[in-house]
Structure 1
């Protein structure tokens, strides 16, 4: 056998061997790609049954568009704080989760929640979110934003205004009621069981059939007015209590007077037997309600003929934007995939909670570009004045709530809440209660987060 034939035989054998190996490796690689590169993310969230349905729909869409990522979504409707603290203690945290503001910032400082600043340079949909929605836990370091936006507004039953011949609340910040005009309107809409309003000398304050206004007594109910009047919880660096300043005292005394002087708002005791905001307006128990944007979901389902106005003002028209953050935990093994899901889970194009009224978008384009504005408000759920009263107002008249900037807010918030109870119950004047509250809050102050 010649040398040339031997070379041909050996070459043939070698080619067959390489082909076999290549085929075997190809098979393993193809199979291995599904297994080794398939990432599972754990996601934990709270919310109503309606929100759960929307989230499940979103997760399904995400998995279809990202076949290499599976999302194990866990809905925790009750005792969420207990659950997440237990997981933290056991070292078994999810990759992505809803989290309360105070806990999120505290854990970020401890290195347990991921700093997502690096991703702001990479993703416009993160970088271009409303600045007031970001949570900063150190200079130049952020855990990201709210899960969605929420602001406080003035909701009202349009039919009740028509019945009493009262002008509707203003929808633009420039024409916002001053406090006196607001009180007078509430008096006109507060009726006793004989149909007499609170301006009548014969008004029976002990037998009220319809209140003019209702407002929440947690911080979102009073903080916008504090901002409007130039007040604050602390001084500029967060080290000194200032909630007993003349500006703050005026706000809290005015709110107390709505209940006990003018009798146009139900007291906490009276509210215990009252239904939720949407039902209050629908059953004509109350004509106006100060509350959060999320109520629009219920208004839409009830087919209530409701409207939205801007909040009354003192020196400037102000409201607050808030909403607990979604975070990525620092010990995730899949930070890039987690960020991809993070950006997807509250995208208005993927979640119908925006168009249905529960959430407000985070990116500025949904407030400034008509195409994107229409995509979430051009429907039956949102009334005609919504663009002016909420969209424009959000871009020009909002500030972040105290939970974004006040360190140790997780302890300060309940302390303030307890200290304000004597005001809401009519047991102390605003000045006395706020002066006394200083002794409780001052020792808890640890400064402000840099924004």
Structure 2
């Protein structure tokens, strides 16, 4: 889609990251109605769009990155209080407005974590935000789609969030040594290399990011990452992952009952996404319930 429009690909390094406004402008250039018109053109028909410029994943936990980028937050640092301050609300409204106002994104109610599959994977959206696990979608039925990787645009601060599936042992276990041995085996890169090379997982040990030989073993030697290509993956994902000024942990690492909060907010957000309420109205309507979820 970029090639057809003669538009340069999105930047793959932080120092070249687009501002939010730049991102929206490019998305408009890539959005086309049935008559070949773009948002802002005379006669553009927002009800007959055949190609969208972008889709920003609206699944609840993925919206946190935009709150942080706009200088806001979802929760207090100790995880005990719901914040969802003005900056966070403004950021989420900007995401929602990609469809409602800017006319560059398809309508998606945000109740499913399907950013890639419902956008680039569907073949009618030029850009989407998704976890790096989308790298592996080339081997999951999307082989014919030629896509790459780029750094996120930013509102005020360059930010991304990191997440994963931590494992642990119950303190009450009767087999602490066996459990520890299993976790040591389960979490070693050598034993998880199949999923890493499938493009789904990333290594957890830092030396896999800093040692050139180890880095090559899971980036350059991975067909899915090499197709992005590998150099773009290294600057857009590896370098960003190592930058602790940019990469933040997802809120559920320090916030209790995070999934209860998501279950409260997610269905309510549908009304903001479809435009029947503003994001502020939605947040205000469930703020007390979200606080109760935290305990």
What's the TM-score, normalizing by structure 2?
0.88
Please identify runs of 4+ aligned residues in structure 1 that moved more than 6 A: none
Deviation at 1:419, TM superposition (A): 3.0
Aligned partners of 1:376, 1:303: CA distance in 2, in Å?
A: 22
Residues 225, 438 of structure 1: alpha-carbon distance in 2 compared, 3 angstrom cutoff: same
Question: Which of these residues, 97, 114, 138, is aligned with residue 299 of structure 1?
Answer: 138
Is the CA contact 1:241–1:438 (under 8 Å) kept in the aligned structure 2?
Answer: yes
Is 1:430 the counterpart of 2:274 in the alignment? no
* Segment drifting more, 177-186 vs 377-386: 377-386
Aligned length: 284
Is the CA contact 1:215–1:221 (under 8 Å) kept in the aligned structure 2?
Answer: no
Is 1:211 the counterpart of 2:74 in the alignment? no
Residue 235 of structure 2 corresponds to: 388
Residues 276, 184 of structure 1: alpha-carbon distance in 2 compared, 3 angstrom cutoff: closer
Deviation at 1:392, TM superposition (A): 0.6
Is 1:440 the counterpart of 2:283 in the alignment? no
Residue 198 of structure 1 corresponds to: 39
Question: Which of these residues, 193, 197, 211, is aligned with residue 355 of structure 1?
Answer: 197
Residue 241 of structure 1 corresponds to: 82
Is the CA contact 2:252–2:258 (under 8 Å) kept in the aligned structure 1?
Answer: yes
- Deviation by residue 1:120-172 (Cα, 9 ceiling, x = unmatched): xxxxxxxxxxxxxxxxxxxxxxxxxxxxxxxxxxxxxxxx1111111211111
Aligned partners of 1:269, 1:333: CA distance in 2, in Å?
A: 45
Question: Which of these residues, 94, 103, 113, is aligned with residue 263 of structure 1?
Answer: 103
Deviation at 1:290, TM superposition (A): 0.8
Which ranges of structure 2 fall in alignment gaps of 5 or more residues? Answer: none
Which ranges of structure 1 fall in alignment gaps of 5 or more residues? Answer: 1-159, 447-451
Residue 414 of structure 1 corresponds to: 263
Is the CA contact 2:75–2:251 (under 8 Å) kept in the aligned structure 1?
Answer: no
Is 1:232 the counterpart of 2:73 in the alignment? yes
1:138-157 → structure 2 map (5 Å cutoff): none
Is the CA contact 1:211–1:266 (under 8 Å) kept in the aligned structure 2?
Answer: yes
Aligned partners of 1:436, 1:318: CA distance in 2, in Å?
A: 28
Residue 344 of structure 1 corresponds to: 185
Deviation at 1:269, TM superposition (A): 5.8
Is the CA contact 1:300–1:380 (under 8 Å) kept in the aligned structure 2?
Answer: no
Deviation at 1:221, TM superposition (A): 2.5
RMSD value, Cα = 2.3
SS at match of 1:212: strand
Residues 271, 289 of structure 1: alpha-carbon distance in 2 compared, 3 angstrom cutoff: farther
1:35-434 → structure 2 map (5 Å cutoff): 160-243=1-84, 245-268=85-108, 277-278=116-117, 280-300=119-139, 302-351=143-192, 352-378=194-220, 379-382=222-225, 383-384=228-229, 385-396=232-243, 397-434=246-283
Is the CA contact 1:220–1:320 (under 8 Å) kept in the aligned structure 2?
Answer: no
Residues 224, 253 of structure 1: alpha-carbon distance in 2 compared, 3 angstrom cutoff: same
Higher strand share: 1
Is the CA contact 1:221–1:290 (under 8 Å) kept in the aligned structure 2?
Answer: no
Residues 283, 425 of structure 1: alpha-carbon distance in 2 compared, 3 angstrom cutoff: closer
Aligned partners of 2:173, 2:238: CA distance in 1, in Å?
A: 36
Deviation at 1:270, TM superposition (A): 11
Deviation at 1:231, TM superposition (A): 0.8
Q: Select the structure of larger CA radius of gyration.
A: 1
- Deviation by residue 1:409-447 (Cα, 9 ceiling, x = unmatched): 23222112233222112111122222222232233334x
Deviation at 1:207, TM superposition (A): 0.7
Aligned partners of 2:37, 2:62: CA distance in 1, in Å?
A: 28
Residue 107 of structure 1 corresponds to: none
